[in-house]
Amino acid sequence: MRQGKLTDLSVRLLAAAAMLAGAGCGYHFAAEGSGLPDNAQTIYVQEFSNSSTNTGLNNQLLRYVKEEIEEHKRLTLVDSSQGADLTLSGSIELENTLPTTFNSVSEPTEYSEMITISAALRDNHTNKIIWSTDHMTDVDNYPVVSQAAITTSPNFLQGNLRGQDIAQMPDLQVAASEQHLTQGQMLDQIAKNLYSSMSDGF
């Protein structure tokens, strides 16, 4: 992964610009409410491809996407595109981490991670793409030293660690643990955004 100095504000602005630029779609349904075809009952989710250097990240995203679809109970997941009304496909286009905060001797204390995906929804009955997005992006920060961890933050409290635990951990373990937690939260948010955009048709 490439690393370089970039401010937290710059990272967030880049992510916001990417979301605005890429949140387009190829088709809008005329009906109000749900953007999904009225007769669509089943969906097949293909394994997402992975253009990043993070092996297995696409499989993690796939799990979150399927869980999000199941949670809404609008569509039933099936194991094959044959017989499915819809097929969702996609790709992780980018996963990048950059140091954003430094201590007094210029050592990084916090990193920012950005994940960008593309996705498309096909109507199998017409063989047409009815929704797509090119640059759906999420960005978040995580500490790489215990001193930078805000143990009262909602993000930290969603994990399994507590303040007294992380204070005893070496920096490498802190970084690995916090990145794993942050990635999971980001993939979950991307899955929620994907479903919301896909089901609304924009």
**Concatenated DSSP letters of 55-82:** TTHHHHHHHHHHHHHHHH-SSEE-S-ST
Inform me whether the pLDDT recorded for 14 exceeds 60.
no
Q: Which of the given ranges, 15-29, 148-162, 169-183, has the highest pLDDT on average?
A: 169-183
In this predicted structure, what is the pLDDT of residue 17? Answer: 47
Inform me whether the pLDDT recorded for 130 exceeds 90.
yes
**pLDDT tens string 46-105:** 999 999 999 999 999 999 999 999 999 999 999 999 989 999 999 999 999 999 889 888
Evaluate whether the domain defined by 8-200 bears CATH number 3.30.9.10: no
| Cβ count within 10 A of residue 13 | 12
Inform me whether the pLDDT recorded for 33 exceeds 80.
no
Q: Tell which residue, 19, 20, 23, has the closest CA to residue 132.
A: 23
For every residue of 155-174, DSSP letters joined together read HHHTSS--HHHHTTS-HHHH
**pLDDT tens string 162-172:** 555 666 666 66
pTM: 0.74
DSSP 125: T
What are the extents of the domains in the chain?
Answer: 8-200
d(CA 83, CA 44): 9
Average pLDDT in the 108-125 region?
94
d(CA 152, CA 159): 11
